[in-house]
Amino acid sequence: MKSSFTKKIITALSLSFLYTAAFASTITDYKISGLKKTKPETLKPYLDTFLNKDSEEIDLHEIETTLRTYGIFSDIKVTLTETEGDENAETDSKTSTLNISLKEKITLLPLPFAFYSSKNYGGGLFILNSNAFGKKDVLAAGGMILSDKIFGMFAYSHAPENNSLGWSLFSSAGKTDHTVTDINDKELNKYYTTGFSFSAGLSESLNSFCTLSQNIGYSYNNFSECDYEDSHNISGSLSFSASFSDWNGYFLLSKSLSLRGGADYSSVNDFSENAAFSLTLQNNFFTSRIRSIIDLKTSYQHGVSIENKNSASDCGLKIISGNFVSTELALARLSLEGAVYKSSAITMSLLGSYEADFAKDYDDSAAICHGPGFGFYVYLEKIALPALGFTYSYNVNKKYSTFNFSLGASF
């Protein structure tokens, strides 16, 4: 004879099953509202994955997060509505429709920008379309005049989808006055180059989170007022990336991993090798208004010529001068960013960080530096680009500071 407690458990489980059965339904359709420029077939490969699934298996918040990662939508709302059943149907199974309501950001615009940093200043104009042809492709073309560079570029990229490869094209040409410093920010060398480059890449989506990419490129550099020889360079690389995101109402929290390896051929240095690693972890810090950011990055090169060495800024190092170049760089940084103001138009945030860097100096000695940083950012809700950014960092070991202010975009 069953005990009274056992009967209650069985009854509760039975009611739970009946409740789920009563309210669960199969998704048979989806509807999208708010599209003006974006073509519906752009979202179709993603939304088709939810058809014929049980409504209990669908995470509406996850769908909103994925659509936000596209960078071209705002005011996204995702709901499920039960579809009226057919009275003549042989079964009682219920069906639902997935409803997507959104607004498109302004994605095609002329983009004037200006910036001022501890080592450089300048401005320019680009035509930016982050939803080219309504396919969420990215097109950018324009130029800039800096204190040490005149530069023009064209870029186009198409992200990979479940049923097709992604691809990208890039070309640039310009003239640069290079100043090279050691890690103490002491000037070591100066040279001038005129050159151009172009590259093409293919990428494949392994699943909804992981992408495999390969790239090949060519560049030419003409040196003047120095002892370096003109160089022709052919480069190739293979990279793997994984990314997970979650929208918390203030920030798009991302967790990303990137691995890259490559080989280059130069008419000056023959063959060289390079590798890079990057890891970013973003999480809520007690409240959704504050996010913690952990950045880990490394860059290694062997046998590269002077113009192909990575700079500190290439690897994301903020407390070391952007004119410092090295074949071995590493970064570890912890940051806290808090949203201090949010409206339907903008989000303003403050950021504090502490960074530790490793670098191989010009004389092959190894150096470890550390120091604090501060930042202020303004993000636009209706336009797919950053509006304003300011960062300040101090190198405790070398006793100098770096800063960067940008208006219109971040480069």
Question: Which tokens sit at 68?
Answer: 């936000």
Helix (H, G, I), strand (E, B) or coil at 292: strand
402 close to 321: Cβ distance less than 8 angstroms: yes
pLDDT class of 269 with cuts at 50, 70, 90:
confident
Q: What is the DSSP string of 139-189?
A: EEEEEEEESSEEEEEEEEEE--BTTB-EEEEEEEEEEEEEEEE-TT--EEE
CB-neighbour burial class of residue 20 (10 A; exposed 0-12, middle 13-18, buried 19+): exposed
Task: List the beta bridge partners of residue 270.
Answer: 266
- For residue 22, is pLDDT > 50? no
Question: Which tokens sit at 1?
Answer: 């004879």
Question: Which tokens sit at 335?
Answer: 């940051």
Distance (Å, whole) CA 34 – CA 217: 39
Looking at every residue in the chain, the average pLDDT score rounds to 86
State residue 292's pLDDT score.
Answer: 97
For 55: left if phi > 0, alpha if psi spans -120 to 50, otherwise beta; the answer is alpha
In 3D, which of 297, 246, 252 has the Cα closest to residue 276?
297
H or E stretch including 211?
A: strand 210-224
Give the residue carrying structure tokens 């950018």: 140
- Percent pLDDT > 90 in the chain is 42
Question: Which tokens sit at 6?
Answer: 């056992």
If one compares 34 and 352, the residue with the highest pLDDT of the two is 352
266 close to 277: Cβ distance less than 8 angstroms: no
Q: Phi, psi at residue 178, to the nearest 5°?
A: -90, 130
pLDDT class of 75 with cuts at 50, 70, 90:
confident
Q: Phi, psi at residue 248, to the nearest 5°?
A: -110, 10
Task: List the beta bridge partners of residue 23.
Answer: none
309 close to 180: Cβ distance less than 8 angstroms: no
Task: List the beta bridge partners of residue 411.
Answer: none
pTM of the model: 0.78
Distance (Å, whole) CA 63 – CA 58: 9
- For residue 334, is pLDDT > 90? yes
pLDDT class of 12 with cuts at 50, 70, 90:
very low
State residue 14's pLDDT score.
Answer: 47
Distance (Å, whole) CA 255 – CA 236: 26
State residue 409's pLDDT score.
Answer: 59
263 close to 271: Cβ distance less than 8 angstroms: yes
Helix (H, G, I), strand (E, B) or coil at 281: strand
State residue 4's pLDDT score.
Answer: 56
